[in-house]
Amino acid sequence: MKVDLHCHTNLSDGVLSPTELVRYAGALGIEMLALTDHDRADILPEVSTIARSLSIQLIAGIELSSQWCKSGVHIVGLGIALDSEVLQQVVASQTQTREMRAQEIGERLAKLNIEDSYAQAKAIAAQSQIGRPHFAQHLVATGQVKDIKTAYKKYLGAGKVGDVKSFWPQLEEVVGWIHAANGHAVLAHPAKYKLTRRKLDALCRDFKDAGGDGIEVVSGMQTKDVTDYHEQLCKKYSFYASCGSDFHGPVSSWHDLGKMSVMPMSCAPVWELWR
């Protein structure tokens, strides 16, 4: 079964609209797809209709930002009830947090003589949830860096001046919200935090203690070493295994929709919950 449980539309920082994304998934033969925009969860009726006509099982999802020790950590909520009142509150509060954080990023960049970046990033974000990608685009557009990668390397990446995570809620809080909306909480892209193995193990332990249900054993294309380690963690903490491409748009073939390493057979797949 072809499954992708982590991707973005232009409701957050993805390129394709939800209908374009679902059509693309259909063309790729994907059978189960979770839409997991940052701090947004909407599945419009027309999107469901297209999915049904393409025999795609759509799972309602959301990607929420959290903080753990000194790391910004992402948690994907899968199978959430879109009519949940808690969910509406979460979307509102994370949106506000994003706003405050973006203003803080703008203030910090201003100290480096990069003026007015908040307003410019906000204009680029338009209807989407504002985030670091919009600041990165602004820095490139104004020629302050040569490309997006450099924008992260110099200003926005982990540990840089624009990496503001102090506003995000703790793991327990985020997991609690997802459960209140009848969803399952999955630790997103574990390798992306660049933690040592010991630290990643500690994160998984804390995530389990916080009520976490699963981890993305596979996130896009990764080496066998990484998959093996995630498989170990998945079993050690009795997590469900999830997998997703974290697709944001048809730009890099490395992150194409549905493109990911093979899921180890020994893990309990989270999608069995909805079959």
Q: What is the SS3 assignment for 184?
A: strand
Residue 168 C-beta: closest distance to Mn ion, Å: 12
Closer residue to Mn ion, CB minimum distance, 13 or 213: 13
Tally of residues, the chain: 275
Closer residue to Mn ion, CB minimum distance, 39 or 213: 39
C-alpha dist (Å) from residue 181 to 64, 110, 172: 13, 39, 14
Going by C-beta distance under 8 Å and a sequence separation of 6 or more, which residues neighbour residue 144? 114, 151
CA 178 to chain centre: 14
Closer residue to Mn ion, CB minimum distance, 187 or 188: 188
Rounded distance, CA 37 to CA 83, Å?
16
- Rg, the chain, Cα only: 18
Q: Pull the structure tokens for residue 28.
A: 């790729």
Residue 53 C-beta: closest distance to Mn ion, Å: 26
Closer residue to Mn ion, CB minimum distance, 191 or 202: 191
Residue 49 C-beta: closest distance to Mn ion, Å: 25
Residue 55 C-beta: closest distance to Mn ion, Å: 25
Closer residue to Mn ion, CB minimum distance, 35 or 241: 35
HSE-up of residue 219 (Cα within 13 Å, Cβ side): 19
Residue 100 C-beta: closest distance to Mn ion, Å: 19
Closer residue to Mn ion, CB minimum distance, 47 or 186: 186
Q: What is the SS3 assignment for 134?
A: helix
**Residues linked to residue 244 through DSSP beta bridges, in sequence order:** 219
Residue 56 C-beta: closest distance to Mn ion, Å: 19
Binding site residues, Mn ion, CB under 5 A: 13, 63, 74, 188, 246
